[in-house]
Amino acid sequence: MADSHTPENTHGKALKINKDTSRYGAFAEIGAGQEVARHFFQAGKASQTIAKTISAYDMVVSDDIYGREANGRYVCEPRLYKMLGHEYDLLVERLSEGRGKTSRFFSFANTVATASSGSNKQSHGWMGVRFQTEPEGPSNDIILHIRMLDRYRLQQQEALGVLGVNLLDCAFYHIGNPEEFIPRLVDNLKEGQVVIDVIKFKGPALTHFNERLMNLELVRRGLAEAILFSPENEILNIADAVYGKSLLIQRGHFRPVTVTHVDVLQKGLVQMKSDILKSEGKDLEILPMMELTMHNLQTGGEVDEKDFLERVETLTSLGHHVLISNFFLFYGLKRFLRRYNSHFMALVVGASHLEKLFTEEHYKNLEGGLLEGLGKLLEQKTKLYVYPHKTNVLCLTAKSFFPSPNLRHVYKHFIENNQIVEISGCDETDDYLHSKDVMKMIEKGDPEWESKVPEKVRDLIKTKKLFGYTD
């Protein structure tokens, strides 16, 4: 998280805001105490900044003020928006005739659940600010979803307080340069204290923030393990998006997505419907996700932002959810998703990927090596689906793959226990189309590429001149 700017301490930031007589607002904090407002009270001159603080711990009281959520939850995004809207609207209604000509109003809110070490509960929450950049001007929103990783509640609350002050400081003084925003957002926080896995920007003063790139930056900096885009290109909270669903995940470069990628996913879906009934005893909604790792997005250690946006746009145009993750190995991704989802899950790969999966070198950081890694990946409710890798010379399948002699019994175990499953035969598939082969056609101006990608993707590439395409 090291950056060129020198972080200002939390007390100094709070005092700076208190001394800024044009800033005036309300604080509403549910679940973890008045951790953010506390910094402003302690810094001094809080009467110049704080019109009101509220902590509605009692659920009945909270529901009476902000309304009850349809799902009965309190730590959720809709609750945060209700808190921000209610407090901001009251502030404007009560004070606009008096100090509205000179004050830039704001409302700050968070709804947070903390948990002690050893608890099964997640320490997470939503935090946001609604603010004016000019007196009597329109409002703007910045929203975060966070997880606190410290072991004890007091430490989690302290981190929450620091992050809240940083968010207000960034919103008030650092929205001019998006590149500075995230480094300043984590000032005075230790590495590994918080995860920020959603950040959203809305309002006329924030149109220069590219939400997709800002969320990608969270993953690049290690502040989030993964981010999820909806087919409408919205940033989703992963925990909410995967809750109660079976997950089908296809990893790839998708530069661009090919007709083979689509066929892999479709055959995976057919297989999965049968497996869900056997595993769960009932039908469940399936959430297919196309996954890109940061490793697959980088060239020479750097992320090409234009290329990233083009890959996401082509995938979402097909109606797919897109997951960007920091997990090089599948078992890490699976364990991450298991934090939020206990239902049947499958990862679908081309048969050529089996060699990488059974390369012992990839698991050298684990005490149990490859056995531990595959044991963490494959269990009763997780399977690996294998799609044939067919060329004009051969067709590689799960049955024709042979790992090194010392691992053949391990591979046989997963095959016989139906944890590594073939989802198609060679006769039912065409030659496997790699993204890199299609890219070569595009670069050479070979029109054959147009038949190698889905129609929607073809039209998008041609219309928007994606991936270096020229007429």
DSSP 157-219: HHHHHHHHHHHHHHHHH--S-HHHHHHHHTTT--TTSEEEEEEEEESGGGTT--HHHHHHHHH
Under 8 Å between Cβ of 331 and 358: no
- Thinking of the domain 239-468, which architecture would CATH place it in? 3-Layer(aba) Sandwich (3.40)
Architecture per CATH, 10-224: Alpha-Beta Complex (3.90)
Distances (CA, A) of 376 to 373, 403, 468: 5, 19, 40
Question: One digit per residue, pLDDT tens: the chain, 471 residues?
Answer: 445 677 889 999 999 999 999 999 999 998 776 789 999 999 999 999 999 999 887 888 888 989 988 888 888 999 999 999 999 999 999 999 989 999 999 999 999 988 766 666 778 999 999 999 999 999 999 999 999 999 888 899 999 999 999 999 999 999 999 999 999 999 999 999 999 999 999 999 999 999 999 999 999 999 999 999 999 999 999 999 999 999 999 999 999 999 999 999 999 999 999 999 888 888 899 999 999 999 888 766 788 999 999 999 999 999 999 999 999 999 999 999 999 999 999 999 999 999 999 999 999 999 999 999 999 999 889 999 999 999 999 999 999 999 999 999 999 999 999 999 999 999 999 999 999 999 999 999 999 999 999 999 999 999 999 999 998
Residue listed under structure tokens 């509640």: 153
Question: Side-chain half-sphere of 94: how many Cα atoms within 13 Å?
Answer: 12
Compute the CA torsion angle 220, 226, 229, 234 (nearest 10 deg): -80
In the chain, where are the structural domains located?
Answer: 10-224, 239-468
pLDDT at 118: 63
What are the structure tokens assigned to 161, written together? 């307080």
Distance CA 289, CA 366 (A): 27
Neighbours of 132 (CB within 10 A): 23
Q: Residue 147 pairs with which residues in a beta bridge?
A: 124, 195
Rounded-to-integer distance, Cα 246 and Cα 224, Å: 23
Q: Are 114 and 148 in contact (CB under 8 A)?
A: yes
Burial class (CB in 10 A: 0-12, 13-18, 19+), 169: buried
Sign of CA dihedral 172, 177, 180, 181: positive
Residue pair 22/135 in contact by the 8 Å Cβ criterion: yes
178-185 helix and 153-173 helix, angle to the nearest 10 degrees: 160
Within 298-347, residue ranges assigned H as helices are 305-316, 330-338
